[in-house]
Amino acid sequence: MQSLRPSAASKTGRGCLLLFGLFWTAFSVFWTIMARKGGGGLMWLFGLPFILIGVGLLASALWRTIAAVRVGPPKISISKAILCPGETFGVIYEQSFRTPVDLYDSKVELVFRESATYTQGTDTRTDTYEQVLESFDGPAGHFAAGQTARQDGSMTIPETGMHTFIAQNNKLQWFVRVNVDVQGWPNMVEEYELTVSPERWL
CA 168 to each of CA 27, 122, 151, 165: distance values in angstroms, whole numbers, following the listed order: 34, 18, 37, 10
Spans of all domains in the chain: 12-61, 71-201
**The pLDDT value given to residue 178:** 94
Q: Can you tell me the distance from the alpha carbon of 31 to that of 77, in angstroms, rounded to the nearest whole number?
A: 49
- What confidence tier does 67 reach under pLDDT thresholds 50, 70, 90? low
Q: What type of residue is 156?
A: T
| Higher pLDDT pick, 1 / 114 | 114
| Higher pLDDT pick, 14 / 76 | 76
Q: Can you tell me the distance from the alpha carbon of 134 to that of 108, in angstroms, rounded to the nearest whole number?
A: 9
The residue among 136, 140, 141, 133 whose CA lies nearest residue 153 is: 136
CA 78 to each of CA 132, 177, 193: distance values in angstroms, whole numbers, following the listed order: 18, 13, 11
What value does the mean pLDDT of the chain take?
84
Read off the pLDDT of residues 14-60 as tens digits, 9 standing for 90 and up: 566 667 778 888 888 887 887 777 766 677 777 788 888 878 777 76
Least confident of 9-13, 136-140, 164-168: 9-13
* Residue 139 dihedral angles phi and psi, to the nearest 5°: -70, 155
Does residue 100 contact residue 145 with C-beta atoms inside 8 Å?
yes
Is the pLDDT reported for residue 190 higher than 80?
Answer: yes
Which DSSP category does 199 fall into?
G
Angle ∠(77,78,81) on CA atoms, nearest 5: 115
| Higher pLDDT pick, 183 / 85 | 85
Is the pLDDT reported for residue 9 higher than 90?
Answer: no
**The pLDDT value given to residue 38:** 73
What kind of architecture, by CATH, is found in domain 71-201?
Sandwich (2.60)
Read off the pLDDT of residues 84-123 as tens digits, 9 standing for 90 and up: 999 999 999 999 999 998 999 999 999 999 999 888 777 8
Predicted model pTM: 0.73
**The pLDDT value given to residue 89:** 96
Q: Can you tell me the distance from the alpha carbon of 123 to that of 130, in angstroms, rounded to the nearest whole number?
A: 23
